[in-house]
Amino acid sequence: MKTIIVTGAGKGIGKEVALKLSESNLVYAISRDISNLNPSETLKPIRFDLSVDTHELIEVLAGEGMEKIDILINNAGALINKPFDQIEREELTYIYKVNLFAPFSLTQSALPYLKRSGHAHVVNIGSVGGVNGTSKFPGLSAYSSSKAALSCLSECLSEEYKGSISFNCLALGAVQTEMLEQAFPGYQAPISAEGMADYIVEFSLNGHKYMNGKTIMVSLSNP
């Protein structure tokens, strides 16, 4: 049984990933709102706001008895759909706190536990919009640029911890979630949160056997 952390697990893709993985693994499901998660022997919902100091989260999990981390899925994300010249500094800071600083510092704090795994896998959930050369859309400059940084971070860490921890980034396309509705009101995505979760679950369990330091675009449409 693997020990897995999934952030942003309160709803959408993160919730589906946590539920599916908990069928045969111990999953710590992290979210500000855990009201939709039912605790079990293998699913441990933890209420935590990742826009604050994420170093404290590992202390909380250690207090819950966590001894190692086999898989860390940095899924939590925030989005603002707003013209570039209207974005306030506080809004930009919040987007980067959730989308980049949180996975950065959480991964830092988790390193001792990841190393105990033998060969852990960190999966950062990015966006097609954060990949160089893909279509970009007005109003999403803060979101897309933060996800681009997350992709680059994945590449950097894969080299720094090569041989002990694998780092990969899944750059997701349109998935039918609340965040998609915020970015593209009225747009119907070709895949559901549950459908995308199936791919993420399989990749998190086995992807590190075949690749490291890669950003993989997972998309059926544009957006």
Q: Against a cut of 0.85, is the pTM above it?
A: yes
45 contacts: CB under 8 Å, gap ≥ 6 = 9, 29, 31, 34, 37, 38, 39
What is the per-residue pLDDT across 34-70, written as a single tens digit (0 to 9) for each? 999 999 999 999 999 999 888 899 999 999 999 999 9
Q: What is the pLDDT of residue 53?
A: 81
Q: What is the pLDDT of residue 55?
A: 86
Please give the average per-residue pLDDT across 100-123, as a whole number.
98
Comparing CA positions, the residue from 179, 181, 175 lying closest to residue 195 is 175
Q: What is the pLDDT of residue 5?
A: 99
Q: Where are the domains of the chain?
A: 3-218
In CATH, the number for domain 3-218 is: 3.40.50.720
Amino acid, single-letter form, for residue 119: H
pLDDT at 155 over 90: yes
Percentage of the chain modeled with pLDDT above 70:
100
